[in-house]
Amino acid sequence: MGMMQGKVALISGGAEGIGAATGRRIVAEGGSVVLGDIQIDKARALAAELGDHAVAVPLDVRDLAQWEAAVQTALDTFGKLTHLANIAGISEPGAVPDVDLDSWSRTIDINLGGTFNGCRTAIPAMAASGESGAIVNIGSMLALRVGAEFAAYCASKAAVTALTKTIALDCAAKKLPIRANTVHPGAIRTPMFERYLEALPGTVEEVEAMFAANHPMGRVGEAVEVVNAIVFLLSDQASFTTGVDFTVDGGGHFRS
């Protein structure tokens, strides 16, 4: 029996990268997934690949109505919602004195507001399932050890960390069998990372070496390494774990 047997998870950012890899893994572990993403064609292609245990929905995480529709799709398609993985996010550079204000607002709205919207919408449906459930929100190594040139990203991910702990405490106080934890990736080989490789000065090899140097293990991570942590925390194997900061960053958050 798989780690996610019979579970139903809603995944934001489910079309590519860590979100897509999480969807594949949950289905492989016996669960079903609703893949939410603004890249709806990619999400639908992945859902078709995964078969009857997957469905795709358009999801701009800033839009509460789209979250409500995504939750309803889970209920209509699979009869329940038991798990949530808030993976959608953006990263744009900028220090406080010079960050583009639209970029600041967009980053906060997507990374923090989107996570809030997902939890606000999903928790009542998860509680109504009558089953144990779990939420995993994606933070960042930079939530724990900030970088000056990523003000909005660091602030949004640090706030997600605190938000997750409030959810963990609230669910426990209300005797809801819902756990909430944060996974903090370092630099991970995803489409977002590939865009940074192309955008920053220097060759691709030089830029990757720069990112790798921020991790004591001397490399960037792979999506599957983050997925391993996400699925563990979603699964019943982590049944007594809530409110934690689970780092998958090669030691980057405590580098010297």
What are the catalytic residues? 153
Burial of 204 (0-12, 13-18, 19+ CB in 10 A): exposed
- The two tokens of residue 65 are 């109505």
Q: What is the DSSP string of 19-37?
A: HHHHHHHHHHTT-EEEEEE
Residue 130 has what DSSP assignment?
T
Q: What angle do CA 122, 49, 186 make, to 5 degrees?
A: 60
- The two tokens of residue 99 are 């960050």
Q: Report helix, strand or coil for 147.
A: coil
Beta bridge mates, 184: 247
User: Strand pairing of 54-58 and 188-189?
Assistant: unpaired
| 14 φ, ψ (degrees, to nearest 5) | -85, 0
What is d(CA 75, CA 26) in angstroms, rounded to the nearest whole number? 17
- Within 8 A by CB and 6+ apart from 189, the residues are 220, 221, 222, 223
Residue whose token pair is 């204000």: 101
